[in-house]
């Protein structure tokens, strides 16, 4: 199961995929897909919305026969993995200048 594989990932083994905070969303999604492939995590959907003013990259776990606590734990761990691989994408301290920076939406 994908949730068990996510929970088994050691954060120290996650390599940095990108440090530039202002890369295009499509490139960010491509690098995230490469990260998941490198870690052997199959079934995670990474999409880029096309609507106006979109500022997120959607990362969606597959629907499996899991309980909510398992899903929430896997989403939290996935957030930690993405923070490790994209260290410049987690700080949203300045609302005025960070508004158009892209972030993750884990679902």
- Cβ atoms 100, 23 nearer than 8 A: no
CA distances from 14 to 10, 53, 55, 81 (A): 7, 31, 24, 7
For residue 91, what pLDDT is reported? Answer: 56
pLDDT number for residue 71: 92
* 25: in domain: yes
Assess if residue 94 is contained within a domain.
Answer: no
Query: Residue 27, class by beta-carbon neighbours within 10 Å (0-12 exposed, 13-18 middle, 19+ buried)?
Result: middle
Neighbour count for residue 80 (Cβ, 10 Å): 14
Q: What confidence score (pLDDT) does residue 92 get?
A: 57
Looking at the domain assignment, is residue 39 inside a domain? Answer: yes
| Cβ neighbours of 106 (radius 10 Å) | 17
- Res 51: pLDDT: 82
Question: 88 vs 78, which has greater pLDDT?
Answer: 78
Would you say residue 93 lies in a domain?
A: no
d(CA 46, CA 104): 10
Kindly state whether residue 92 falls inside one of the protein's structural domains: no
Q: Is 63 within a domain?
A: yes
pLDDT of residue 81: 96
Q: What pTM was estimated for this model as a whole? A: 0.85
CATH of the domain at 40: 3.30.70
Residue 13 domain-assigned (yes or no): no
Number of domains within the chain:
1
- % of the chain exceeding 70 in pLDDT: 88
59 in a structural domain: yes
Q: What is the pLDDT of residues 84-104, one digit of tens each?
A: 999 877 655 565 665 555 678
* CB-neighbour burial class of residue 98 (10 A; exposed 0-12, middle 13-18, buried 19+): middle
């Amino acid at each position: 199961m994908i949730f068990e594989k996510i929970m088994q990932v050691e954060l120290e083994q996650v390599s940095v995929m990108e440090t530039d905070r202002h890369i295009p969303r499509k490139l960010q999604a491509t690098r995230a897909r490469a990260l998941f492939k490198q870690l052997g995590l199959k079934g995670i959907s990474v999409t880029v919305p096309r609507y106006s003013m979109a500022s997120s990259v959607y990362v969606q776990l597959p629907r499996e026969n899991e309980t909510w606590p398992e899903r929430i734990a896997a989403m939290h761990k996935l957030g930690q993995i993405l923070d490790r691989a994209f260290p410049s994408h987690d700080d949203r301290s300045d609302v005025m200048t960070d508004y158009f920076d892209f972030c993750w939406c884990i679902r």
